Amino acid sequence: MNNLVAAVAHHGYVLTFAILFAEGMGFPFPAAIALVAAGAAIPSHALSGWALIAAALLALMTADIIQFWLGRYTGWALLGFLCRLSMNPETCMLHSAESFYKRGKTTLVIAKFIPGINTMAAPLAGSMKMRFGQFLRLDFAGAVLYVVTYLAVGYLCRDFLAATLRSFYAAGRIMEVFIIGALLVYALYRIAQFLKYREYNVVPHVQVEELARRIAAGEAEKIQIVDVRSHGYYDRGAERIFRSIRIEPNNLDDEIKGLQKEKDIYLYCT
């Protein structure tokens, strides 16, 4: 943090733009901390508040517009890539989509404050065919709220931040050991989760023609077809495959209890 504050004060607008743009594109960069550090540099006149707001908004909106159109043309492929660091990418995508549609499209206004949703909101809006004009209005409002909030935190808490940084600097060696230990524990945890879930990396698929042949051969009573389309791709008026049933993908633990285990179960989504 101490190095970040010094770097922001020295390089100013370019570094702020770069960090916010990188986080907007899905990289794990500390955008909120960068804004707080930039806000702390405003009272000393090392940086201009209005110029910081302009640089930050340009970075966020540029990244979000790129993500929106990538989401529009790549769909779940991009969302899967953004969720790759999650121990379960499918759950990451479904929960993000559920949150987006449960709270409505105005989620874009607060999305940047919510870990996990902040990077997913723009490509989700694109993949689910949100109007670009509507996206721009809501996303810009969210970007303004996010930037002004964290710059204000840095501006108002600059004395507290300075005292905290001096304490961290005095306990530098202890902090280094603590941070290295925390990173090691996290790495071991991720390895353990990867080994636990790697058996789910390969999901068996079946061609539509094969399923159609089974139904044509009179095996329809031995088959259960299940529609698991997620939020945004399914609504109450949506058409389904003949004789299929609908289950909610975000409530699988309860939904699968109603499936007939003696039948061959085929799932389909968008």
**Strand ranges (DSSP E) for the chain?**
223-227, 245-246, 264-268
- Please indicate, yes or no, whether the overall pTM of this predicted structure exceeds 0.75: no
For residues 111 and 6, give the distance between their C-alpha atoms in angstroms, rounded to a whole number: 29
Q: What is the pLDDT of residues 56-94, one digit of tens each?
A: 999 999 999 999 998 888 866 666 666 665 545 555 666
Q: What is the pLDDT of residues 8-37, one digit of tens each?
A: 556 678 888 998 998 888 777 778 888 888
Q: How confident is the model at residue 104 (pLDDT cuts 50, 70, 90)?
A: low
For residues 270 and 261, give the distance between their C-alpha atoms in angstroms, rounded to a whole number: 24
**Phi/psi of residue 232, nearest 5 degrees:** 95, -25
Q: What is the pLDDT of residues 138-158, one digit of tens each?
A: 999 999 999 999 999 888 876
